[in-house]
Amino acid sequence: MNLGIIGAGATGLTAAYDAVKAGHDVTVLEAADELGGLAASIEVGGTPLERYYHHIFRSDRAVIELIEELGLGDDLRFHRPTTGIFREGRLHPFSTPWEMLRFPAFSPLDAVRFAASSAALKVVRDGERFNDGTALAWLRRWAGHGATRSVWEPLLRGKFGDRADEISMAWLWARVHSRTFELGYVHGGFQRVYAALADAVATGGGKVEFGKRLASIRQPETDHVTVTTEDGSSYSFDQLIVTTPQPVFAEAAGLPEDSTVWRNQYLGATCFVLELDRSVIPYYWLNVNDTEFPFLAVVEHTRMVDRSEYGGKHIVYVGNYVPRDDWRFTTDPAELLDAYLPWLRRVNPDFDRSWITGWRFSRAPFAQPVVTPGYRNLIPAHSTPMSRVTLATMAQIYPHDRGQNFAVAMAHRVTKMIGAC
Ligand SMILES: Cc1cc2nc3c(=O)[nH]c(=O)nc-3n(C[C@H](O)[C@H](O)[C@H](O)COP(=O)(O)OP(=O)(O)OC[C@H]3O[C@@H](n4cnc5c(N)ncnc54)[C@H](O)[C@@H]3O)c2cc1C
């Protein structure tokens, strides 16, 4: 089979790897000049570091198996980093059950209901039972108004803004159900996984072409599909797997406006990587439970991975999810950083701009599907109106939330589905 794949992220590269192993002729077309898509990396102190904070969970079987198969199993290290919550001007540890129970915003009853409802979500295996309700309605009923108001609601509002009331309980179930306290990170960065996949594809005779932004997909005859890219190149494939966000596919394929492929909605993501000469927060992960803040989370990566990996620098991510027309998505990054500094000082009153020795900014237009009740009915099938074109995209992952693990699992599924492995 002469297989084309659009996108060199986790899904596209895993699909390419599976197909090459099965002896197929594979070409991956990638718009960017880097591997990894949303999990792509920059370099800090000579070591690859994800543009957006990334870790995996103990429960992420598919990606763990892939990492092992690629010979990187010994480099996958599990850590037990800490979490905190910033609320009403103060930092509160929130890593252990004991710290959660002692969270000052909780009454004893709130603490018990928070713990019991979270434990219930861990036990319930079928997330689909939550298809039709909203997270906030479920939380108010089962976790109680106090715990919802002080922990869950600020998190949902921070992440989804005005859409927080619409978020499906299935989405929240997935976040609580399968996540573990232990977090996995590949020594040297997840980039090593993507580089290993690309190497294996090349060794098997396949190729990854960069700077190939998809322009159109057409299936003029029944026996092949034609792809053109914005630089004027044209390709013919027996089968095509498209891993881009749905709107990119719908436009390239010229799908009519009523196609399900257009229906899902996404938030964009923006993220600073700050290189600092000292630590900013005492935790790995800080949830900012104050909706006035212009960002949702501060993640001090070097509280999970030793900073000697990055030339001794402390690495802090400051990120959020926003609509693509939001000022935080459209503002010039240097101005945006200036706008964030007073808020970082609220988190750590000693914080000073002079601590920052370098910074990078990334933004992705389609980063987080907005999962609303009834989302199941909005998901298009992997098979598309074009018989030789298969869609394998992040927003089809449900009821679990997107993530590298589910991208890998989806890639295995679709390559099998089209007989490519
Ligand atoms: C802020 C943030 C934090 C995250 N944290 C984690 C985490 O901790 N753990 C985890 O496992 N996952 C995390 N994720 C999710 C994870 O990054 C994704 O689920 C996964 O990388 C998706 O892989 P994918 O290949 O399906 O999609 P993508 O990574 O989006 O890959 C799609 C590829 O298609 C390319 N493309 C797009 N348009 C075109 C076009 N027109 N022509 C050609 N190519 C095109 C893109 O450049 C990209 O390379 C996070 C994501 C974000 C945004």
Q: Determine the atom of ligand 1 nearest the C-alpha atom of 394.
A: 26
Edge-to-edge, what's the strand order for the sheet holding 389-391?
207-209, 25-29, 2-6, 239-242, 389-391
Q: Determine the atom of ligand 1 nearest the C-alpha atom of 319.
A: 1
Distance 10 CA to ligand 1 centre (A): 7
pLDDT for position 249: 97
Nearest partner of 60 among 412, 409, 398, judged by Cα? 409
Residue 19 CA to residue 113 CA, distance in Å, equals: 48
Residue 272 CA to residue 274 CA, distance in Å, equals: 6
pTM of the predicted model over 0.85: yes
Q: Which two tokens stand for residue 114?
A: 């928070």
pLDDT for position 61: 97
For the chain, residues classed under CATH 3.50.50.60 are: 2-35+189-263+373-417
Residue appearing with tokens 């503002």: 331
Distance 42 CA to ligand 1 centre (A): 15
User: 2-35+189-263+373-417 falls under which CATH superfamily?
Assistant: FAD/NAD(P)-binding domain (3.50.50.60)
Closest Cα to atom 2 of ligand 1? 52
pLDDT digit string (tens) for the chain, length 421 residues = 999 999 999 999 999 999 999 999 999 999 999 999 999 999 999 999 999 999 999 999 999 999 999 999 999 999 999 999 999 999 999 999 899 989 999 999 999 999 999 999 999 999 999 999 999 999 999 999 999 999 999 999 999 999 999 999 999 999 999 889 999 999 999 999 999 999 999 999 999 999 999 999 999 877 899 999 999 999 999 999 999 999 999 999 999 988 889 888 999 999 999 999 999 999 999 999 998 999 999 999 999 999 999 999 999 999 999 999 999 999 999 999 999 999 999 999 999 999 999 999 999 999 999 999 999 999 999 999 999 999 999 999 999 999 999 999 999 999 999 999 8
| DSSP labels, 306-346 | -GGGGTT-EEEEEEEEE-TTSHHHHS-HHHHHHHHHHHHHH
Number of H helices, E strands in the chain: 13, 20
What are the distances in angstroms from CA 91 to CA 30, 35, 84, 342?
Answer: 42, 37, 7, 16
For a pocket test of ligand 1, which of 6, 11, 17, 38 has the largest count of ligand atoms closer than 8 A to its C-beta?
38
Distance 36 CA to ligand 1 centre (A): 7
Q: What is the DSSP letter of 362?
A: E
Q: Where are the alpha helices (DSSP H) in 162-303?
A: 169-177, 191-203, 246-253
pLDDT for position 258: 87
- Contact between residue 243 and residue 5 where contact means Cβ atoms under 8 Å apart: yes
The Cβ of residue 252 has, within 10 Å, a number of other Cβ atoms equal to 21
Nearest partner of 77 among 279, 306, 284, judged by Cα? 306
Distance 245 CA to ligand 1 centre (A): 9
- Contact between residue 299 and residue 284 where contact means Cβ atoms under 8 Å apart: yes
Distance 148 CA to ligand 1 centre (A): 30
Residue 59 CA to residue 231 CA, distance in Å, equals: 41
Q: Determine the atom of ligand 1 nearest the C-alpha atom of 29.
A: 43
Residue 309 CA to residue 307 CA, distance in Å, equals: 5
| DSSP-assigned beta bridge partners for residue 168 | 134
pLDDT for position 378: 93
For a pocket test of ligand 1, which of 60, 267, 402 has the largest count of ligand atoms closer than 8 A to its C-beta?
402
Distance 404 CA to ligand 1 centre (A): 8
What is the CB < 6 Å shell around ligand 1? 6-12, 29-32, 37-39, 52-56, 213-214, 243-244, 248, 269, 271, 319, 364, 367, 394, 402-405, 407
For a pocket test of ligand 1, which of 76, 212, 230, 243 has the largest count of ligand atoms closer than 8 A to its C-beta?
243
Residue 138 CA to residue 141 CA, distance in Å, equals: 5
The Cβ of residue 290 has, within 10 Å, a number of other Cβ atoms equal to 17
